[in-house]
């Protein structure tokens, strides 16, 4: 798996002497972990859309009103 090749390199770079290298590596590691946990933005959006389709029109309107306010 590609993650097994990339993650160890990024983790090592999290301790680099150069600030922007450390920062980028930490961001990269965090994005990989979020993606592997299934909590990525795209995944969350897909799940919410699927759940939203199961609601009645009245329930959808109530949610829309609450989120718009």
Domain ranges of the chain: 2-68
Decide: pTM greater than 0.85. no
Q: Which residues of 30-58 are buried (b: 16+ CB within 10 A; e: fewer)?
A: eebeeeeeeeeeeeeeeeeeeeeeeeeee
C-alpha dihedral sign at 23, 24, 29, 35: positive
Q: What is the mean pLDDT of residues 20-26?
A: 95
Q: What is the mean pLDDT of residues 17-40?
A: 90
Q: What is the mean pLDDT of residues 39-50?
A: 80
The confidence band for 29, taking pLDDT boundaries of 50, 70 and 90, is very high
Q: What is the mean pLDDT of residues 4-10?
A: 93
Q: What is the mean pLDDT of residues 21-30?
A: 94
Angstrom distance (rounded) from CA 44 to CA 40:
6
């Amino acid at each position: 798996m590609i993650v097994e090749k990339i993650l160890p390199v990024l983790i090592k770079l999290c301790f680099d002497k150069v600030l922007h290298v450390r920062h980028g590596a930490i961001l990269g590691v965090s994005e990989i972990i979020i993606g592997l946990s299934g909590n990525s933005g795209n995944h969350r959006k897909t799940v919410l859309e699927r759940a939203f389709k199961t609601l009645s029109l009245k329930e959808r309107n109530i949610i829309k009103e609450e989120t718009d306010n």
